[in-house]
Amino acid sequence: MYVCAKCGHELFSSRSKYEHSSPWPAFTETIHENSVSKHEERRGAYKVKCGKCGNGLGHEFVNDGPKHGLSRMHNKQYKYITF
């Protein structure tokens, strides 16, 4: 599981992570509907923040996922935890 580095809010499951050519980890979906908040910066690109504390996480790029119609979210400000 990936959580916000600032507040520990649950963001992404390792099952939604996939390999991409970008240097940052990429995910196709969040754990919860309110895991992140997004606002459009330009057409097809959204700024992604933690849904709890507002920590900047990276960007979402529409239709740039592993399959047509999926989005890619790259994130930098998270940490991986195991149970």
| Closest listed residue to residue 10, CA positions, set 70, 69, 50, 54 | 50
| pTM given for the model | 0.77
Overall domain count for the chain: 1
Q: Which amino acid is at 43?
A: R
Q: What is the pLDDT of residues 13-49, one digit of tens each?
A: 888 888 777 777 788 888 999 999 999 999 988 898 9
User: CA dist 39 to 1, 22, 44, 80, 83, Å?
Assistant: 24, 21, 11, 25, 32
What CATH number does residue 75 fall under?
Answer: 2.170.150.20
Q: What is the residue range of 43's domain?
A: 2-80
The answer to whether 57 and 48 have CB atoms below 8 angstroms apart is yes
Q: What is the pLDDT of residues 57-72, one digit of tens each?
A: 888 887 776 666 555 6
Distant-in-sequence, close-in-space partners of 6: CB < 8 Å, separation ≥ 6:
50, 53, 55, 77
- Label residue 79 by pLDDT band (50, 70, 90): low
